[in-house]
Amino acid sequence: MASYKRIKLGLSHLLLLVTSLVMMYPIFWWVGASLKTNEEMSSANLFPKIPHWENFTEGWVSVPNFSFTHFYINTFELVLGVLFTSVISCSLVAFAFARLDFPLRKLWFSIMLVTLMLPTQVTIVPQYVMFSKWGWVDTYLPFYIPHLLAGGIGGPFFIYLLVQFMRSVPRELDEAAKIDGCSWFGIYWRIMIPLVKPALVTVAIYAFLWNWDDFFGQMIYINNIENYTINLALKLFIDSQGSVPWGQMLAMSLLSITPSVLIFFLAQKHFVEGISAGALKG
């Protein structure tokens, strides 16, 4: 019986290993292709015999007058600004829904949940017209302002996640703080924020990943190459003649996901804690 369980466990691990290798094959191909020349792209070899590491150095400075250092700085400027505004605004709105009593609170919360099912593409045209009239196109304001108002990518989801956390915090803490003369904002800042830190870290990770990968929104609102992010800079490898240095483009695209991967693995503990605790407390 024990040997049967060991065999079953070994077969399960083998199946998982094979499945993982199959799923990771595109990543292996991506890494290998980033070290090839255009002539070697059609080769059946996963990795080239002679790796062309110059794809990374040449790709980094391939855009005239700009390097990918500039595009990285632009991307971090956009994403970190959105991350900061999302965490602050969504936590404030969630605190209001979780703790404050105001007219039609349940109705407004239901409306907020309904917006979870509203695709971004539905509102992109009226938003673009509005931001264009205000002169915000080709700036980062179309990203900052919606998130500052608890909108933007993932706003309703972030609010819902934080509300579930905040509702689990005992209200006796609020009453004790009021007796000590603490205001509602003091309760939010001194009591609620420290207690929902796992959820805030989860929101921050999601905000970083989703906005780092937001090619659609960046393509719509950013037109000047000086304001380009990494996502937009990658399309500059395709010229009007259709000639593409595939090795350099794949090398830069590989580097473009590095911050997202590092953020996820470094904050994985907090991320899993936030999601699992939110599921239990919800």
Contact predicate 193/200, CB 8 Å: yes
Task: Give residue 54's pLDDT band: very low, low, confident or very high (50, 70, 90).
Answer: very high
- CA distances from residue 205 to 22, 66, 115, 247, 262 in whole angstroms, order as listed: 28, 29, 21, 30, 11
Question: Under a CB-based contact definition with an 8 Å cutoff, are residues 208 and 260 in contact?
Answer: yes
Q: Mind listing the pLDDT tens digit for each residue in 103-113?
A: 999 999 999 88
**Percentage of residues in the chain having pLDDT higher than 70:** 93
Rounded Cα–Cα distance for residues 270 and 201 (Å): 6
Q: Can you give the pTM of this predicted structure? A: 0.86
Q: Indicate whether 58 pLDDT > 60.
A: yes
- Which CATH fold topology does 64-281 show? MetI-like fold (1.10.3720)
Q: Is the pLDDT of residue 282 over 70?
A: no
What are the residue ranges spanned by the domains of the chain? 64-281
Q: Distance (Å, rounded) from C-alpha 141 to C-alpha 130?
A: 12
**Residue range 186-234, pLDDT digits in tens:** 999 999 999 888 889 889 988 998 999 899 999 999 999 999 999 999 9
**What are the residues whose beta carbons fall under 8 Å from the beta carbon of 83, sequence distance 6 or more?**
204, 207, 208, 211
Residues 38/247, Cβ–Cβ less than 8 Å: yes
Give the Cα separation of 42 and 189 in Å (integer).
58
Going by C-alpha positions, the residue among 146, 167, 141, 127 that lies closest to residue 89 is: 146
Q: What is the pLDDT of residues 12-48, one digit of tens each?
A: 889 999 999 899 999 999 999 999 998 888 887 889 8
